[in-house]
Amino acid sequence: MADIEANSVCEEGYTTVSRVGDFELTVDATGEDGPTPNEVLAADYASCYVPALRVAGQQHGYDDLGRVEVDVEANLDDDDDLTDISFDIGVEADVDDEDVDALIETGEDICHVHSALREGLHADISLESGV
């Protein structure tokens, strides 16, 4: 059994409903019935980075960063492939300027999505017809 299991179904068109455990997520490549896959990826990246940043803060002497807000920006090329993602992060706690880079880097080291976004991580895909 895999560590993570999900089931994604697309009955027609470009809308896919995925189930992960007890949760359901609707993603639509056209953006009409839900966020697009690239939008979900950008939001997921930020959602993973926030707890990583909190742990980084604890490791660098900031017991509680308080409220953390991330504004995500991502750009697409002419083929709708992501070209870059940026985070503009605000934290409630007062973080010393000399600690900012260390917190960012430690957060990157801890964030699982940050680690996963590498060229060598592609799905091993098989396809069965007539099911």
- In the chain, the domains with their CATH numbers are 1-35 (no CATH), 36-116 (3.30.300.20)
Summary count for the chain: helices (H), strands (E): 3, 5
Q: Which two tokens stand for residue 45?
A: 């990246």
pTM for the model stands at 0.89
pLDDT, position 124 = 76
pLDDT, position 129 = 64
Main-chain dihedrals φ then ψ at residue 20, nearest 5 degrees: -130, 110
pLDDT, position 127 = 67
Tokens 């409903």: give the residue.
Answer: 17
The single-letter DSSP state of residue 85 is E
Q: Where are the beta strands (DSSP E) in the chain?
A: 7-9, 15-20, 23-28, 68-76, 82-91
Mean pLDDT, consecutive 10-residue stretches, the chain (131 aa), reads 93 96 96 96 96 97 95 94 92 95 96 87 73 78
pLDDT, position 131 = 78
Q: Answer whether 59's CB lies under 8 Å from 101's CB.
A: no
> CA 40 to CA 24: how far, in whole Å?
13
